[in-house]
A = this chain, B = another copy of it.
Amino acid sequence: VHLSVQGSQDLAGQIYRQLRAAMVEGRLAAGERLPSTRALAVQLGVSRKTTLEAFDRLTAEGYLGARQGDGSFVNEGLHRLTEAVPPSMVTRLTATPVWERVPEALSMPVPTPTLPIDFRGGSTDRGAFPFDAWRRCMLHALRATARGFSGYRDPAGEQELRLAISRYLAVSRAVTRQWREVIVTQGAQQALDLIARVMIRPGDVVAMEDPGYPPARACFAAAGARVVDVPVDGEGLVVERLPAQARLVYVTPSHQFPLGMPMSLSRRVALLQWAQRHAALIVEDDYDGEYRFEGRPLDALKSLDQADTVAYVGTFSKTIFPELRLGYMVPPGALHQALCKARQTVDWHSCMMTQTALAKFMLDGDFARHQRRMHKLYGKRRELLLARLRGPLSPWLEPLESVAGIHLAAYIKQPIGETELIDAAARAGIGLYGLAPFHNRAGARPGLLFGYGATDLEHVERGLTGLERLLPTLGRNRLG
């Protein structure tokens, strides 16, 4: 074993670490005798105090056994760390098979930051966020943290945040006025996961919209569910196609993801009645219902729920930004306790400072002001998008009905493939995203998802103008 020391810092530590590594890795065999501390000191050009210190530590920790007069020996037993285990005794550590069914990266629009214009969905306008007000709220939260006691908190969330959310939901979505019903989560994704954890046993059937939201699908699949696709039409989920065994139905009634249509009142009534008859849980993902345009669309499905079968799920990812990782749910009373237990078991609770900051941001009125401002901003982008899609782009694209949200879907009318169009647009510096990743079954109608949360008016304009130039060339090439 080769030993060497460098410089003059922590010489004993250097010797300790090299000897220890040699023993752990089996280069110094069990029972082997080490040189004396005196000889080693001479060999390395260090003081004997240094080698003694290293040997003392190795002896104290059990690496070296010292026999009186005989010097130091590598302890018996260490060879077991590296001894070959018969192949029959070794099976590789592997994750359970359910994880093979979960995609490595969830198929969400991936940013293409090199493109000058980008219609990625799921992003918000960072530049328009009132960071000054947020800083004030964070500093407030920091002072509150410094004053408070240190320890774990309520898994359901900080009380003032639950209060702020319940007030907001009562006014904005007619959902609840009771802060105790609200559970704060690490984004909507955790709400879905907790619901899956308490409801799903391997093999249980979960019904999802197709096309639908892939991260929800991954979540239910990871819980071992058999996920059954249910088609959507112009009124949303086709209730009569629900599988009778479904224990859980995941829907996006305010703004079907990704197509955009709201679920009609009669479908809502039919779905609630179906769930009641089948003792199934409805999970209402109201992921961007905050942004409603064209009149006043329906309140949340949860507001019609007379039998307490709906778990309402919301998020701040679309109103603030996704990296904040805060969302919430209002579950049926029968599941509240199990969900709080599950939250405590999986991670106790969300960061207290962020929760406190957000509570202040909401209770001070900054959140409402920000939403009003963003509503105007996003509304203008949406108007422009719709005007161009229905005008100059109408020979090629057909926007779907949508009254809410921060994205629009449009079918491709000409025989141009999604991938073909997306690739051509990328070459022209425009980031487009297809609908195919959201369909679970092949043969769906080609289309695009235009996100405008992080694309300002000027870029929407320039992107669509670029498309107006690009599409005829594709169509001509294709149609010959």
Which residues in A have some Cβ–Cβ distance to B below 8 Å? 17, 24-26, 57, 60-63, 75, 77-78, 80-83, 85, 89-96, 99, 102-106, 108, 111, 113, 120, 122-126, 129, 131, 134-135, 138-139, 142, 145-146, 148-153, 174, 185-187, 189-190, 193, 197-202, 215, 218-219, 222, 264-266, 269-270, 272-273, 276-279, 281, 295-298, 303-304, 306-309, 321-326, 332, 334-335, 337-342, 344-354, 453-454
Contacts and interface: CB of A to CB of B under 8 A. Distances in A.
Given A77-B269, A99-B341, A322 B151 contact: yes
A308 B93 CA distance: 9
A150 B126 CA distance: 6
A63 B151 contact: no
B345 A218 contact: yes
Contact of A95 (B153, B338, B344): B338
Nearest to A332: B93
Nearest to A273: B80
Contacts of A83: 273
Contacts of A335: 93, 95
A75 to B, nearest CB: 7
A245 to B, nearest CB: 13
Contacts of A308: 93
A352 B323 contact: yes
Contacts of A303: 24
A78 to B, nearest CB: 6
Given A85-B276, A122-B151, 20 more contacts: A17-B174, A24-B303, A24-B306, A61-B298, A75-B266, A80-B273, A89-B278, A95-B338, A111-B149, A111-B151, A120-B151, A126-B150, A150-B321, A150-B453, A186-B347, A218-B345, A325-B347, A325-B349, A346-B346, A353-B354
B341 A269 contact: no
A400 to B, nearest CB: 19
A93 B334 contact: yes
